[in-house]
């Protein structure tokens, strides 16, 4: 029993549609970065291409679809190449791109209208796709930098594999493999379809990671430049007589720091012009010079003309002019640096937090994305090795499992993107007044099917009159995540209760309570922490990252509410959060 190629094409189209959504969010979040916009156009072209393939089932449309199918899909590969070139801020050779594309189209049309030959059209498509794939791999390899080398190499391998797949197809044609039509159940056809499914997903993830690493590298470069500018501030040089502090000479740095002109201070004592905020410090400095002949990096409070206080970092050495001991001192105004040190300390704390969040995201990417891909690989290996032995029911089961894996990946990517946008402050906040019951019903509509499959009943006990003032999309994201988790961790035939009540402080308390497996005290303590891994599998092996609850915490906080949980292992969990009932409260 062979695989239903049309069903496979539909699954691929759905996966590319998911990639459109993912890349659209990346494009919106990184509009100042070249590349994501072209990748978004690629994913859209691929979706359109697979729609055209499916339309070939309509006999009257076949001639038109044959003309446009390969052109649309090939244009997508061209868009990927352009996006990679622009991502590395290189100039696109439009003459080459245009000539390359036009030559493909002309050959494609030649093998339709002059010599109608399906095999030659397929060979032409395979050769051109493999060439552009290898060019893309070469471009990434040539332009990679140290900060993105690992991910760049990953993408190079993906595009090399992509190019080799289509090169292999071209070689198969040259070796005499019979090519009948694109819906035949053959290894020749399955190669390109599974390449579109698996490789397409892999390079989408590779693009996202590559983009984030580039942004991180740019942030680090800006930080280094700032530090260089900061550390090249001029020092104040002063020469004064050791015995009485009479000033002999100074530089422009000293006049700038002190506020005095050179004429105002020459031949006067440093005590006379009140440079020292504490005159006793001058006595201590003179004592050190007499005893050690130098001092280094003393933080001394000084004051400018007019009495403004500054902090100076002073070093000095004993010099003798005409047999008279003098002090030559170098003073750096570190007042701004002290403030900057405090800022840097705060920034370091922020960077530690960001680093912890980054480690959390990398952990999710490395652990939770690996499992679905391993599932994809095992299923494709099964199809490759046992295709002739699989029944139609087994093939349907494999297709269903592929669809479920794609759904899990989409949910994970959606939460990852929302988390990333939240950290960048890119999620809009538009609070309005809404009816609570209808908003809750809307938010859990997509979850009802998962609950139904597990035989879980969802009960809603929310008074019709309750209204809230918050961002509706954000609120629904919170409820959807909480209910999704409840379904995930509740065994079959369990129940979930969603309730709400008005609190005396003009707030509404919403509760999502389940009869699931519950949590132990240690898990409860770490539940809303981004630096601790809290993910676990659902009652039927459903994937979990723990990221959804972190989103809930951030979103509830953004709506001026709070969130908490009550749970006991084996006895279910109850998640509570509050939202304002009126505009006055959130303001």
Q: Are 454 and 487 in contact (CB under 8 A)?
A: yes
Across the chain, mean pLDDT equals: 79
Give pLDDT, residue 230.
Answer: 30
What's the average model confidence in pLDDT over 103-127? 88
pLDDT at residue 291 is higher than 80? yes
Give long-range contacts, CB 8 A cutoff, 24+ apart: 243-251: 243/324, 243/325, 244/269, 245/269, 245/270, 245/271, 245/282, 245/286, 247/273, 248/321, 248/326
- The C-alpha angle 560, 562, 563, rounded to 5 degrees, equals 145
Give pLDDT, residue 526.
Answer: 78
Give pLDDT, residue 228.
Answer: 42
Tell me the whole-structure pTM to 2 decimals: 0.39
pLDDT digits (tens, 9 = 90+) for 539-556: 877 766 666 787 788 888
What's the average model confidence in pLDDT over 492-499? 91
What's the average model confidence in pLDDT over 344-366? 68
Of 21-25, 305-309, 576-580, the least confident: 21-25
pLDDT digits (tens, 9 = 90+) for 438-472: 888 888 876 777 788 788 999 999 988 888 888 88
pLDDT, greater one: 65 or 355: 65
Q: Is 571 helix (H, G, I), strand (E, B) or coil?
A: coil
5-225: CATH topology: Rhopdopsin 7-helix transmembrane proteins (1.20.1070)
Q: Which of the four pLDDT bands, split at 50, 70 and 90, describes residue 339?
A: confident
CATH code, 236-333: 3.30.450.20
Q: Which of the four pLDDT bands, split at 50, 70 and 90, describes residue 499?
A: very high
- The C-alpha angle 459, 461, 463, rounded to 5 degrees, equals 150
432-586: CATH architecture: 2-Layer Sandwich (3.30)
pLDDT digits (tens, 9 = 90+) for 46-73: 878 778 777 777 777 877 888 888 888 8
Give pLDDT, residue 300.
Answer: 86
pLDDT at residue 232 is higher than 50? no
What's the average model confidence in pLDDT over 290-304? 86
Q: Which of the four pLDDT bands, split at 50, 70 and 90, describes residue 102?
A: very high
What's the average model confidence in pLDDT over 513-520? 90
**Annotated domain spans of the chain:** 5-225, 236-333, 432-586
pLDDT digits (tens, 9 = 90+) for 245-259: 888 888 777 888 888
- First-residue to last-residue Cα distance in the chain: 65
Give pLDDT, residue 573.
Answer: 92
């Amino acid at each position: 029993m062979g695989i239903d190629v049309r069903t496979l094409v539909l699954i691929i189209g759905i996966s590319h549609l998911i990639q459109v959504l993912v890349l659209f969010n990346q494009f919106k979040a990184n509009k100042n970065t070249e590349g994501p916009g072209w990748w978004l156009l690629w994913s859209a072209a691929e979706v359109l291409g697979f729609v055209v393939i499916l339309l070939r089932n309509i006999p009257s449309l076949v001639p038109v679809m044959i003309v446009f199918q390969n052109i649309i899909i090939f244009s997508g590969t061209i868009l990927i190449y352009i996006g990679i070139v622009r991502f590395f801020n290189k100039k696109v050779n439009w003459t080459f791109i245009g000539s390359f594309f036009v030559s493909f189209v002309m050959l494609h049309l030649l093998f339709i209208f002059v010599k109608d030959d399906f095999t030659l059209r397929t060979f032409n498509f395979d050769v051109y796709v493999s060439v552009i794939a290898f060019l893309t791999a070469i471009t990434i390899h040539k332009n990679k930098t140290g900060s993105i080398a690992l991910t760049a190499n990953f993408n190079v391998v993906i595009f090399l594999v992509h190019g080799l797949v289509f090169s292999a197809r071209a070689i198969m044609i040259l070796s005499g493999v019979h090519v009948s039509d694109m819906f035949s159940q053959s290894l020749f056809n399955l190669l390109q379809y599974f390449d579109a499914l698996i490789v397409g997903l892999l390079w989408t993830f590779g693009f996202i990671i590559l983009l984030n690493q580039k942004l991180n590298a740019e942030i680090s470069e800006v930080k280094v430049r700032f530090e260089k500018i900061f550390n090249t501030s001029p020092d104040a040089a002063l020469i004064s007589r050791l015995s009485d502090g009479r000033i002999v000479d100074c530089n422009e740095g000293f006049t700038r720091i002190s506020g005095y002109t050179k004429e105002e201070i020459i031949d006067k004592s440093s005590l006379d012009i009140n440079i020292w905020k504490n005159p006793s410090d001058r006595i201590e400095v003179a004592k050190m010079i007499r005893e050690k002949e130098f001092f280094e990096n003393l933080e001394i409070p000084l004051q400018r003309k007019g009495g403004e206080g500054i902090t100076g970092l002073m070093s000095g050495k004993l010099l003798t002019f005409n047999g008279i001991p003098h002090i030559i001192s170098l003073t750096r105004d570190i007042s701004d640096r002290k403030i900057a040190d405090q800022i840097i300390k705060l920034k370091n704390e922020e960077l530690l937090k960001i680093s912890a969040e980054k480690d959390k995201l990398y952990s999710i990417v490395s652990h939770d994305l690996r499992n679905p891909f391993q599932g994809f690989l095992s299923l494709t290996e099964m199809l490759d090795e046992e295709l002739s032995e699989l029944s139609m029911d087994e093939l349907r089961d494999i297709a269903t499992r592929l669809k479920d894996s794609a759904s899990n990946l989409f949910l994970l990517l959606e939460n990852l993107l929302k988390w990333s946008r939240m950290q960048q402050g890119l999620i809009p906040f538009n609070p309005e007044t809404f009816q609570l019951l209808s908003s809750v019903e809307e938010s859990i509509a997509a979850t009802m099917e998962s609950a139904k499959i597990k035989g879980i009943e969802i009960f809603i006990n929310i008074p019709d009159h309750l209204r809230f003032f918050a961002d509706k999309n954000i609120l629904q994201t919170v409820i959807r995540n909480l209910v999704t988790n409840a379904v995930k961790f509740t065994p079959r035939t369990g129940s979930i209760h969603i309730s709400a009540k008005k609190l005396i402080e003009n707030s509404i308390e919403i509760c999502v309570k389940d009869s699931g497996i519950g949590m132990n005290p240690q898990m409860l303590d770490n539940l809303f922490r981004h630096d601790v891994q809290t993910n676990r599998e659902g009652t039927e092996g459903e994937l979990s990252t723990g990221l959804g609850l972190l989103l809930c915490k951030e979103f509830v906080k953004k709506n001026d509410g709070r969130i908490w949980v009550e749970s006991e292992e084996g006895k279910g969990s109850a998640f509570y959060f509050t939202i304002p009932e009126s505009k006055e409260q959130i303001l």
